[in-house]
Amino acid sequence: MPTLSTLLLFVAATLALLVFPGPAVLYIVTRSVSQGRAAGLVSVLGVHTGTIFFVLATSFGLSALLAASGTAFQVVKYLGVAYLLWLGVQKLWLSRGEEDAAAEPPRASLRRIFTQGVIVNLLNPKTLIFFAAFLPQFVDPALGSVTFQLVFFGIGFIVLGIVSDGTYALLASALAGRLRRTARVRRRLDRSSGVVYLLLGAFAATVRQA
Protein backbone atom coordinates (compact mmCIF):
# COMPACT_ATOMS: atom_id res chain seq x y z
CA MET A 1 0.00 0.00 0.00
CA PRO A 2 1.22 3.54 -0.74
CA THR A 3 2.24 5.68 2.21
CA LEU A 4 -0.13 8.30 3.65
CA SER A 5 2.01 11.15 2.34
CA THR A 6 1.92 9.67 -1.18
CA LEU A 7 -1.86 9.27 -0.99
CA LEU A 8 -2.34 12.87 0.12
CA LEU A 9 -0.06 14.11 -2.66
CA PHE A 10 -1.97 12.01 -5.19
CA VAL A 11 -5.34 13.36 -4.04
CA ALA A 12 -4.09 16.96 -4.12
CA ALA A 13 -2.53 16.58 -7.58
CA THR A 14 -5.60 14.81 -8.97
CA LEU A 15 -8.04 17.41 -7.65
CA ALA A 16 -5.86 20.20 -9.02
CA LEU A 17 -6.06 18.57 -12.46
CA LEU A 18 -9.78 17.85 -12.27
CA VAL A 19 -10.70 21.42 -11.33
CA PHE A 20 -9.80 22.59 -14.84
CA PRO A 21 -12.42 21.26 -17.29
CA GLY A 22 -11.34 19.35 -20.35
CA PRO A 23 -13.28 17.88 -23.31
CA ALA A 24 -14.96 15.22 -21.16
CA VAL A 25 -16.19 17.80 -18.64
CA LEU A 26 -17.49 20.02 -21.43
CA TYR A 27 -19.39 17.03 -22.80
CA ILE A 28 -20.89 16.40 -19.34
CA VAL A 29 -21.87 20.05 -18.89
CA THR A 30 -23.37 20.15 -22.37
CA ARG A 31 -25.50 17.09 -21.63
CA SER A 32 -26.53 18.52 -18.25
CA VAL A 33 -27.61 21.79 -19.83
CA SER A 34 -29.38 20.05 -22.69
CA GLN A 35 -31.33 17.37 -20.80
CA GLY A 36 -30.97 17.97 -17.10
CA ARG A 37 -29.49 16.33 -14.02
CA ALA A 38 -30.11 12.67 -14.86
CA ALA A 39 -28.50 13.03 -18.30
CA GLY A 40 -25.53 14.84 -16.78
CA LEU A 41 -24.92 12.19 -14.11
CA VAL A 42 -25.31 9.34 -16.61
CA SER A 43 -22.78 11.04 -18.89
CA VAL A 44 -20.38 11.18 -15.90
CA LEU A 45 -20.74 7.42 -15.46
CA GLY A 46 -20.19 6.90 -19.18
CA VAL A 47 -17.05 9.02 -19.27
CA HIS A 48 -15.50 7.24 -16.31
CA THR A 49 -16.45 3.82 -17.60
CA GLY A 50 -14.20 4.79 -20.48
CA THR A 51 -11.55 5.84 -17.96
CA ILE A 52 -11.44 2.25 -16.67
CA PHE A 53 -9.95 1.26 -20.02
CA PHE A 54 -7.23 3.88 -19.67
CA VAL A 55 -6.38 2.68 -16.17
CA LEU A 56 -6.08 -0.93 -17.30
CA ALA A 57 -4.15 0.04 -20.43
CA THR A 58 -1.68 2.06 -18.37
CA SER A 59 -1.34 -0.70 -15.78
CA PHE A 60 -0.56 -3.37 -18.37
CA GLY A 61 1.62 -1.26 -20.67
CA LEU A 62 -0.74 -0.76 -23.61
CA SER A 63 -0.42 3.01 -23.36
CA ALA A 64 3.25 2.77 -24.30
CA LEU A 65 2.28 1.12 -27.58
CA LEU A 66 -0.11 3.92 -28.50
CA ALA A 67 2.39 6.59 -27.50
CA ALA A 68 5.03 4.94 -29.70
CA SER A 69 2.78 4.49 -32.74
CA GLY A 70 2.08 7.70 -34.60
CA THR A 71 -0.35 5.93 -36.94
CA ALA A 72 -2.42 4.48 -34.09
CA PHE A 73 -2.51 7.86 -32.38
CA GLN A 74 -3.74 9.62 -35.53
CA VAL A 75 -6.39 6.97 -36.24
CA VAL A 76 -7.88 7.24 -32.74
CA LYS A 77 -7.57 11.02 -32.80
CA TYR A 78 -9.49 11.50 -36.05
CA LEU A 79 -12.15 8.96 -35.09
CA GLY A 80 -12.72 11.13 -32.01
CA VAL A 81 -12.82 14.31 -34.10
CA ALA A 82 -15.32 12.80 -36.52
CA TYR A 83 -17.54 11.57 -33.69
CA LEU A 84 -17.64 14.96 -31.95
CA LEU A 85 -18.40 16.76 -35.21
CA TRP A 86 -21.17 14.28 -35.92
CA LEU A 87 -22.71 14.92 -32.50
CA GLY A 88 -22.56 18.67 -33.12
CA VAL A 89 -24.13 18.54 -36.56
CA GLN A 90 -26.81 16.15 -35.32
CA LYS A 91 -27.69 18.44 -32.41
CA LEU A 92 -27.92 21.52 -34.63
CA TRP A 93 -29.97 19.68 -37.24
CA LEU A 94 -32.49 18.39 -34.71
CA SER A 95 -32.81 21.84 -33.15
CA ARG A 96 -33.33 23.44 -36.55
CA GLY A 97 -35.95 20.88 -37.45
CA GLU A 98 -38.18 21.79 -34.52
CA GLU A 99 -40.82 23.97 -36.17
CA ASP A 100 -42.89 24.32 -33.01
CA ALA A 101 -40.92 26.63 -30.70
CA ALA A 102 -42.97 25.50 -27.71
CA ALA A 103 -42.26 21.82 -28.24
CA GLU A 104 -39.64 19.94 -26.29
CA PRO A 105 -36.81 18.91 -28.64
CA PRO A 106 -36.05 15.19 -29.04
CA ARG A 107 -34.35 13.75 -25.96
CA ALA A 108 -31.64 11.11 -26.17
CA SER A 109 -32.17 8.03 -24.03
CA LEU A 110 -30.01 7.62 -20.91
CA ARG A 111 -28.49 4.49 -22.44
CA ARG A 112 -27.45 6.45 -25.52
CA ILE A 113 -26.02 9.27 -23.38
CA PHE A 114 -24.02 6.72 -21.37
CA THR A 115 -22.65 5.11 -24.54
CA GLN A 116 -21.71 8.49 -26.00
CA GLY A 117 -19.85 9.37 -22.80
CA VAL A 118 -17.82 6.17 -23.06
CA ILE A 119 -16.99 6.79 -26.72
CA VAL A 120 -16.10 10.47 -26.24
CA ASN A 121 -13.55 9.48 -23.59
CA LEU A 122 -12.19 6.43 -25.40
CA LEU A 123 -11.58 8.36 -28.61
CA ASN A 124 -9.24 10.80 -26.88
CA PRO A 125 -5.75 9.26 -27.23
CA LYS A 126 -4.22 12.14 -25.26
CA THR A 127 -6.01 10.87 -22.15
CA LEU A 128 -4.26 7.51 -22.38
CA ILE A 129 -0.88 9.17 -22.74
CA PHE A 130 -1.74 11.44 -19.80
CA PHE A 131 -2.43 8.45 -17.59
CA ALA A 132 0.81 6.81 -18.68
CA ALA A 133 2.72 9.94 -17.56
CA PHE A 134 0.70 10.80 -14.42
CA LEU A 135 0.01 7.57 -12.52
CA PRO A 136 3.58 6.16 -12.47
CA GLN A 137 4.80 9.24 -10.56
CA PHE A 138 3.13 7.88 -7.42
CA VAL A 139 4.35 4.30 -7.75
CA ASP A 140 7.11 2.95 -5.51
CA PRO A 141 8.42 -0.46 -6.69
CA ALA A 142 9.76 -1.09 -3.19
CA LEU A 143 6.19 -1.27 -1.88
CA GLY A 144 5.16 -4.23 -4.02
CA SER A 145 3.46 -4.90 -7.35
CA VAL A 146 3.70 -1.95 -9.72
CA THR A 147 0.60 -3.12 -11.59
CA PHE A 148 -1.43 -3.24 -8.38
CA GLN A 149 -0.33 0.27 -7.45
CA LEU A 150 -1.21 1.63 -10.89
CA VAL A 151 -4.67 0.06 -10.70
CA PHE A 152 -5.09 1.39 -7.13
CA PHE A 153 -4.25 4.96 -8.13
CA GLY A 154 -6.32 4.62 -11.28
CA ILE A 155 -9.39 3.64 -9.27
CA GLY A 156 -8.70 6.57 -6.95
CA PHE A 157 -8.58 8.91 -9.95
CA ILE A 158 -11.92 7.57 -11.19
CA VAL A 159 -13.57 8.06 -7.79
CA LEU A 160 -12.31 11.62 -7.50
CA GLY A 161 -13.26 12.26 -11.12
CA ILE A 162 -16.84 11.09 -10.54
CA VAL A 163 -17.14 13.43 -7.55
CA SER A 164 -15.66 16.39 -9.45
CA ASP A 165 -17.50 15.81 -12.72
CA GLY A 166 -20.71 14.99 -10.86
CA THR A 167 -20.48 18.40 -9.20
CA TYR A 168 -20.16 20.04 -12.62
CA ALA A 169 -23.20 18.08 -13.82
CA LEU A 170 -25.35 19.08 -10.83
CA LEU A 171 -24.39 22.75 -11.02
CA ALA A 172 -24.90 22.95 -14.79
CA SER A 173 -28.28 21.22 -14.67
CA ALA A 174 -29.46 23.40 -11.78
CA LEU A 175 -28.48 26.64 -13.53
CA ALA A 176 -29.89 25.58 -16.89
CA GLY A 177 -33.06 24.12 -15.41
CA ARG A 178 -34.59 27.53 -14.78
CA LEU A 179 -33.59 28.82 -18.19
CA ARG A 180 -35.08 25.83 -20.01
CA ARG A 181 -38.56 26.73 -18.78
CA THR A 182 -38.67 29.27 -21.62
CA ALA A 183 -39.09 27.62 -25.02
CA ARG A 184 -36.96 30.18 -26.89
CA VAL A 185 -34.10 29.94 -24.41
CA ARG A 186 -34.39 26.14 -24.45
CA ARG A 187 -33.86 26.10 -28.20
CA ARG A 188 -30.87 28.42 -27.89
CA LEU A 189 -29.33 26.19 -25.24
CA ASP A 190 -29.76 23.17 -27.49
CA ARG A 191 -28.13 24.98 -30.40
CA SER A 192 -25.31 26.10 -28.12
CA SER A 193 -24.77 22.45 -27.19
CA GLY A 194 -24.28 21.64 -30.86
CA VAL A 195 -21.75 24.44 -31.22
CA VAL A 196 -19.84 23.14 -28.18
CA TYR A 197 -19.54 19.70 -29.79
CA LEU A 198 -18.22 21.28 -32.99
CA LEU A 199 -15.67 23.32 -31.03
CA LEU A 200 -14.57 20.21 -29.14
CA GLY A 201 -14.07 18.42 -32.45
CA ALA A 202 -12.04 21.33 -33.81
CA PHE A 203 -9.92 21.40 -30.65
CA ALA A 204 -9.36 17.65 -30.78
CA ALA A 205 -8.09 18.01 -34.35
CA THR A 206 -5.28 20.29 -33.15
CA VAL A 207 -3.98 17.85 -30.51
CA ARG A 208 -0.55 16.50 -31.30
CA GLN A 209 1.24 13.44 -30.03
CA ALA A 210 3.57 14.21 -27.13
Nearest to 116 by CA among 47, 165, 168, 173: 47
pLDDT at residue 3, rounded to an integer: 83
Q: What is the pLDDT of residues 103-126, one digit of tens each?
A: 555 677 899 999 988 988 887 766
> How far is residue 55's CA from residue 101's CA, in Å, rounded to a whole number?
44
Angle between helices 110-122 and 23-35 (to 10 degrees): 170
Segment holding 34, helix H or strand E: helix 23-35
Least confident of 10-24, 53-67, 147-161: 53-67
The sign one gets for the Cα dihedral 170, 37, 15, 80 is negative
Q: Residues near 60 by Cβ (< 8 Å), separated by ≥ 6? A: 147
Q: Of 157 and 96, which is predicted with more confidence?
A: 157
Average per-residue pLDDT for the chain: 77
Distance from C-alpha of 197 to C-alpha of 86, rounded to nearest angstrom: 8
pTM of the model: 0.72
pLDDT in tens, 40-95: 999 999 999 999 988 888 887 766 655 555 665 666 667 767 777 777 776 677 65
Percent of the chain past pLDDT 90, that is, above it, reads: 19
For residues 187 and 115, give the distance between their C-alpha atoms in angstroms, rounded to a whole number.
24
Position 99 scores a pLDDT of 47
Residue 171 has pLDDT above 50, yes or no: yes
Residues in the chain: 210
Q: Are 39 and 110 in contact (CB under 8 A)?
A: yes
